Chains A and B, each alone.
Chain A
Amino acid sequence: MHLHKYEKWWLVFGTGTLIAFLIILGIGAFHSGSHPNNSRKTIDYERVEDFEPFNNPGVHKVEGKDWDYEVVLIASAFNYNPAEIELPLNAKVKFIATTKDVIHGFQATGTNINMMLEPGYISEYTTVVNKTGEYLIVCNEYCGTGHAYMYSKLKVVDPNAANDSE
């Protein structure tokens, strides 16, 4: 099979680029620990409130863990519990979420916080909230008529700035 010289260059260049991309993704994932939600914990979706930590949804400060805050969240058609999340700037936070009924999304728009919530599974994502502001949280997986009215809010506040202004 004959390959033109330019075609060889093109394929070497193209394939080389793809390999470079993959190496960057691989280093990001397996060296720097940047993974999407890969949690494999399961739960009985019909009784989520009977189990830790979903018996106490909300924002909790935690001690002795790799992260400072835990956000425990339950989604159901068509709302989130808690309805609003407030976190201090630069907090390392673990989002722990599940659904009580159908599949929902959990995305803080304009951020990397974006995961699917599926019945029977606990979704988890750990990140540092390093930019102040109010982020709209939307359900981004169709869940029924009220889907576009299913939202909540993530507030990232700078504790020092708040003291200054008041």
Chain B
Amino acid sequence: MQQTIVNKIMKVDPRDGKLAMANIYVAFIALLVGGLAGLLQVLVRSGQFTLPWGIGYYQVLTVHGILLGLILTTYFIMGFQVAAISRTVGPLTNTQRKIGWIGFWCMTIGTVAAATMVLLNEATVLYTFYAPLKAHWIFYLGLTLVVVGSWLLIVPQFMRYIAWRKEHKGETSPLLAFMVTVNNLLWFVATLGVATEVLFILLPWSLGLVERVDVLLTRTLFWYFGHALVYFWLLPAYMAWYTIVPKILGAKIFSDALARLSFMLFLIFSVPVGIHHQLTEPGISGLWKFIQVVLTFFVIVPSLITAFSMFATFELRGRQLGSKGLLGWFKALPWKDSRFLLPFMGMVAFIPGGAGGIVNASYQMNQLVHNTIWITGHFHLTVATTVALTFFGVAFWLIPHLTGRVLTPKLNFLGVITGILWATGMFIMSSAMHIVGLLSGAPRRSEYSEYGGATQAIEWIPYQIAQAVGGTILFIAILLITYVVIQLAFFAPKGEQDFPLAELSPGAEKTPAILENFKVWGVILVALIIFAYTIPIFDIIQNAPPGSKGFNNLW
């Protein structure tokens, strides 16, 4: 049966474009400020620099984690997804768009509130805010608003997708819109954990309404959210790889069905795996830790599917262009196109990044690396390279598409330079982190310290200097990309920048309907969550020690 997806809509509706751009502006402001915080950290940790005006290292670290891990990612993803929905399944209605704007402002008020508390040194609790460290209640309220705002932003995306499905009964929905919907569903299910933690436990506690909290319960709820969070970051990058990068190459989508299968697998396996972040802690039985380790390994399978699809696309396209030999197709790829080069470098980074992740999740092997700077090196490869470079590659065409400008050859060239600088800086920084964390156990989240002159700690210093070198190169890349983004948003020549969207091959098989059946996959998701979490959480509550009072006088 012939599949018919006709892209009647070629552009994002300008009104939706405004909403998308508002999100993207905040994302890049967060990148600049959060990146500056990162620069200060690596400089302090090199031992050559101290922070002025009584600013604390951990305050800067909190800023870095929140702005880059939570704010940059969530805003950029919302901007990209709103645009993707408008482009693939049509403009939002006025009401839907209004809900989106309320969500945007809700998130922004929350961000400003939480940031203010961090700047006032009332919330130096890092982005994981582990109790019983107790921040100011406004910090927790701010975070709640960010989560609620993000829910309001995904509502119109859901509504528009559902409306399209109703209007096109029996048709396969556009791949990108389907992927956006999966990611939004994942986000909603995941954030239920952190929303419960913050709204029902930490907020009343910080307000003094309850005296004590169950520390392990809050951590478990946090990581129920925390691991799915990383897939919420990763899936938009995969969206770009599956649906946008092929178009830039001039290729078709490799397999619509496999792409959907991998997203559904991500949906069901991203959430019931959070305990693999808690492998070295007391209060959770080894059996349940191990069960979640097994589930964690399942979530690797869709990434294997994705890796195959990507390289198959590249090779097929290269051969189509006449490349010969085993690896001749590699040369045919558009290396000078920043829209391709940056996501490609992101894909390459995910090979060591993913392998390192398998180590982290490997039950007893986690003891060797838990809370060492190896972990920091790991997620700077995954989120800060794979995801970040793909997002930048998307920004280079999405921003001009939304602002009615074009990516000029000069700006494209600066984009390429940014990507190369980023990859270089990250290679240096992340390698140093991986090596010194794995071989010598240097801790993460720690300021410069000689630990009483201990031999081991002295050996760490050269690696910390290497991190500062890499971090400085990264900051230069951030300055450059800020310049490119400002140009693309306000100064680049007016014109029509294409929203690249790959199509299916004319002869592609029809995708099995089961892959679009959210009811079936939703039931599996809920069943897996209930399976993986009911007994551990019941145990945690049942065997709880006396709760903890808060500590807000330690920083």
Query: A residues bordering B, Cβ < 8 Å?
Result: 1-4, 6-7, 10-11, 14-15, 18, 21-22, 25-26, 28-30, 34-46, 77, 101-103, 105, 107-124, 134-136, 138-149, 151, 153
Known: A29-B286, A42-B545. A147 touches B312 (CB 8 A): no
With the chains together, A25 CA to B363 CA distance in Å? 7
B544 at interface by CB-CB < 8 Å: yes
Looking at the complex, which one of B219, B278, B286, B545 makes contact with A35 (CB distance below 8 Å)? Answer: B286
Say whether B443 contacts A138, CB under 8 Å: yes
Would you call A22 and B215 a contact (CB within 8 A)?
no
A139 to B297, CA, bound (A): 29
A-B contact pairs, 25 of them (CB 8 A): A3-B258, A7-B305, A15-B301, A21-B362, A22-B297, A25-B362, A29-B286, A29-B364, A36-B366, A38-B284, A38-B285, A38-B289, A45-B548, A110-B439, A111-B441, A114-B371, A118-B282, A120-B216, A120-B544, A120-B545, A120-B548, A138-B443, A140-B370, A144-B551, A149-B449
Please tell me if the beta carbons of A18 and B451 are within 8 angstroms of each other in the complex: no
Q: Which residues of B contact A34 (CB under 8 A)?
A: 364
- Chain B residues in the interface with A (C-beta under 8 A): 56, 58, 61, 126, 130, 132-133, 215-216, 219, 255, 257-258, 261, 278-286, 289-290, 293-294, 297, 300-301, 304-305, 308, 312, 358, 362-368, 370-372, 439-449, 451-452, 454-457, 509, 511-512, 515, 539, 543-548, 551, 554-555
Known: A1-B509, A124-B282, A136-B451. 16 other contacts (CB 8 A): A2-B509, A7-B312, A25-B363, A35-B364, A36-B367, A37-B281, A38-B285, A40-B284, A43-B545, A102-B132, A103-B130, A110-B441, A134-B454, A138-B441, A142-B446, A147-B445
Task: Give the contacting residue for A101; candidates B219, B454, B543, B551; CB below 8 A.
Answer: B551
> Pick the contact of B58 from A2, A42, A145, A153 — CB < 8 Å?
A145
Q: How far does the alpha carbon of A26 sit from the alpha carbon of B287 in the complex, in Å?
A: 10
10 nearest interchain CB pairs? A144-B554, A120-B545, A109-B441, A148-B449, A42-B545, A140-B371, A121-B282, A116-B281, A140-B443, A38-B286
Is A114 in contact with B509, judged by CB distance below 8 angstroms? no
Name A111's closest neighbour in chain B (CB-CB).
B441
Shortest distance between the CB of A136 and any CB in chain B (Å): 4
Residue of A nearest to B301 (CB): A15
Q: How many A-B residue pairs have CB under 8 A?
A: 232
Contact residues in A for B133 (Cβ distance below 8 Å): 102-103, 142-144
- A42 close to B301 (CB less than 8 A): no
Expressed in whole angstroms, the Cα–Cα distance for A6 and B452 within the complex equals 56
**Complex Cα–Cα for A42 and B282 (A):** 9
Query: Cβ of B301 and Cβ of A151 under 8 Å apart?
Result: no
